[in-house]
Amino acid sequence: MTEPTEKLPLDNDLRCRYEYLAEFFNFTNDNIKILNQLSIYIQPMIPVIVDKVYRKLFSFDITKQYFFRHPSHSCFGNLFSSANHSSFSFDGNDIEFRKNMLSKYLEKILMEQEWDDSFLRYLSFVGQVHTQEMGTSTIHVDYMHISALIGFLEHIIIDIILKINNIDYQTKYRAIVSMNKFFWIQNQFFKMHYKEEEKR
């Protein structure tokens, strides 16, 4: 990518944005293969990872509040919201739906072998669905919480990698580096949907 970045459509072209970030972070096919190889260790732990994430979100009122939205304002209908706070629980259907979405996300990022345009659209959608861009004016998770969650999720996975017994230090190092690069790329796919928030 030799073209000056100020001439690149980094804010609206997913492929261009990814290629720039991949080159900047030196995120290569080798990193993708490492994520694929890592899946055999991480996938069995996904239920534990997801549980930790949602327990963390429920431990702060400021993040828990985002689960209390009126169904008519949710792009997922009543699956993605709860109008009745008293019936809303950590083990309720709403949260189970969200847990399943996170589980599928983790499986996908670990198993995806070809980062084609369809996969990039998926990474972008994961960011977009948390914002007003989906046409749901009352469903907008502030970027601060998104960034904090990405960091928390990455730390959980790094901790799992460090505790794997049957791989050597160098392999663990490459796995952690690959995971770190991925989450920074995902972070930037989130950030492209928060332009209005940055102006405030």
Measured distance CA(143)–CA(145) in Å, rounded: 5
Q: Where are the domains of the chain?
A: 12-69+100-194
Q: Residues 41, 161: contact at Cβ < 8 Å?
A: yes
| HSE (side-chain half, CA atoms, 13 Å) at 130 | 26
pLDDT tens-place string over residues 162-195: 999 999 999 999 999 999 999 999 999 999 888 7
pLDDT tens-place string over residues 49-108: 999 999 999 999 999 888 776 444 444 444 344 444 444 567 777 789 889 999 999 999
* CATH number of the domain located at residue range(s) 12-69+100-194 in this protein: 1.10.490.10
Rounded to 5 degrees, φ, ψ at 77 are: 65, -150
